[in-house]
């Protein structure tokens, strides 16, 4: 099958889950390429907004051919920026078709951008299009305002796109209910997990805990409210003989650091690449993840795959959790989180957790599930 992947987000703004799926689908014997238009913002990207490469180009990423470009957004102009993004992706598709012919399937990652663009192309070309949805309601409301009061036009556009897609693939069953108040459920869907590179995030024995502080890590972007850093800071107060290592894009901001002022046992690592994430996990005894809104929680599965237990909140979808490896706290409840953090210090590593995840989220497992959806049309 000839598959064209269209991510809504791509480096330097995340989205490597789309590349993981492209590579996995390619390993199933399909012809898979990607078309990636990345929106840059002045406030988010700073100097990179002006220095980033111009034009459109092809490059190979982890064995996958990717047609790339950057689009410099106009500040505070959501609707014009989205329309322009759709237009650019349409033009890139025309380039792609001239070079490689019409694909059998369009596979968009996230409806907000790529799903709508794929719909426009599919209607014109007569190609089936599928949407893997990664975004929880919290991100949509951050973009469009609570209750979508800033952009009812966008909500209706996305709702219509869901209904017209051949199939929607939410990364968790809970995500369907999370988005239902905005988009309803009048569309065909099959939940399929994101991929975890279980061979890279392999089980790893930790050093004995005796004679040193217990090491927690928190790997999440620096969105203080959505990722629950305020709750985590409150929970950490009064806990003895522990360290907290925080990493992720935006976690070196002053607002986040201010939450942990006068806490010498808290360390900030900033943004880490994949190797850096694994290294931090290998030097930690548990992951703590206090999120208030999450579509799945990939870092939870990465941590469990390496062998450490996780303290997280009851917002996390079930397909990210492994029995015995996860202690669950109430969302937004610092005391509940503190209790679970204290309890996890007695949990013993279990290599079987890794094998449970291998059967659930390994690349070949997820790719086969996606292909079943594609083949059903």
What is the rounded distance in angstroms from the CA atom of residue 53 to the CA atom of residue 192? 35
pLDDT digits (tens, 9 = 90+) for 232-257: 999 999 899 999 999 999 998 899 99
Name which CATH class applies to 2-195+362-376. Answer: alpha beta
Per-residue pLDDT reduced to its tens digit, 135-191: 998 888 888 887 776 688 999 999 999 999 999 999 999 999 999 999 999 999 999
Fold agreement (2-195+362-376, 214-359):
yes
Q: What pLDDT is stored for residue 162 in this prediction?
A: 97
For residue 176, what pLDDT is reported?
95
DSSP 273: -
Interatomic CA distance for residues 248 and 273, integer angstroms: 9
The pTM for the full model equals 0.90
CATH of domain 214-359: 3.40.50.2000
pLDDT over 80 at 87, yes or no = yes
pLDDT digits (tens, 9 = 90+) for 104-133: 999 999 999 999 999 999 999 999 999 999
> How do the domains of the chain map onto residue ranges?
2-195+362-376, 214-359
Residue position matching structure tokens 């951050």: 142
| Spatial distance between the Cα atoms of 347 and 303, rounded to a whole number of angstroms | 14
């Amino acid at each position: 099958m000839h598959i064209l992947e269209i991510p809504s987000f791509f480096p330097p703004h995340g989205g490597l889950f789309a590349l993981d799926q492209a590579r996995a689908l390619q390993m199933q014997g399909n012809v898979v390429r990607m078309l990636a238009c990345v929106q840059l913002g002045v406030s988010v990207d700073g100097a990179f907004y002006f220095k980033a490469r111009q034009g459109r180009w092809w490059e190979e990423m982890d064995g996958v051919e990717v047609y790339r470009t950057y689009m410099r957004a106009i500040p505070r102009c959501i609707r014009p920026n989205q329309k322009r993004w759709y237009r650019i992706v349409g033009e890139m598709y025309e380039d792609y078709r001239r070079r490689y012919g019409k694909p059998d399937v369009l596979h968009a990652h996230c409806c907000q951008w790529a799903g709508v663009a794929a719909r426009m192309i599919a209607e014109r070309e007569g190609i089936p299009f599928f949407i893997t949805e990664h975004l929880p309601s919290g991100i949509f409301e951050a973009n469009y305002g609570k209750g979508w009061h800033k952009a009812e036009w966008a909500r209706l556009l996305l709702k219509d796109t869901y209904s017209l897609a051949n199939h929607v693939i939410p990364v968790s069953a809970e995500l369907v209910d999370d988005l239902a108040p905005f988009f309803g459920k009048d569309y065909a869907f099959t939940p399929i997990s994101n991929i975890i590179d279980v061979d890279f995030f392999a089980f790893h024995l930790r050093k004995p805990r005796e004679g040193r502080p217990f090491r927690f890590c928190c790997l999440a972007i620096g969105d203080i409210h959505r990722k629950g850093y305020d709750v985590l800071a409150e929970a950490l107060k009064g806990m003895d003989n522990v360290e907290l290592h925080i990493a992720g894009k935006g976690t070196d901001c002053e607002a986040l650091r201010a939450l942990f002022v006068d806490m010498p046992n808290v360390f900030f690592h900033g943004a880490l690449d994949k190797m850096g994430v694994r290294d931090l996990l290998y030097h930690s005894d548990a992951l703590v993840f206090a999120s208030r809104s999450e579509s799945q929680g990939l870092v939870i599965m990465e941590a469990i795959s390496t062998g450490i237990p996780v303290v997280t909140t009851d917002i996390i979808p079930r397909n990210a959790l492994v029995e015995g490896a996860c202690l669950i706290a109430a969302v937004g409840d610092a005391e509940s989180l503190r209790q679970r953090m204290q309890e996890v210090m007695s949990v013993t590593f279990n290599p079987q957790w890794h094998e449970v995840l291998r059967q659930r989220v390994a690349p070949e497992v997820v790719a086969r599930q996606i292909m079943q959806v594609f083949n059903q049309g």
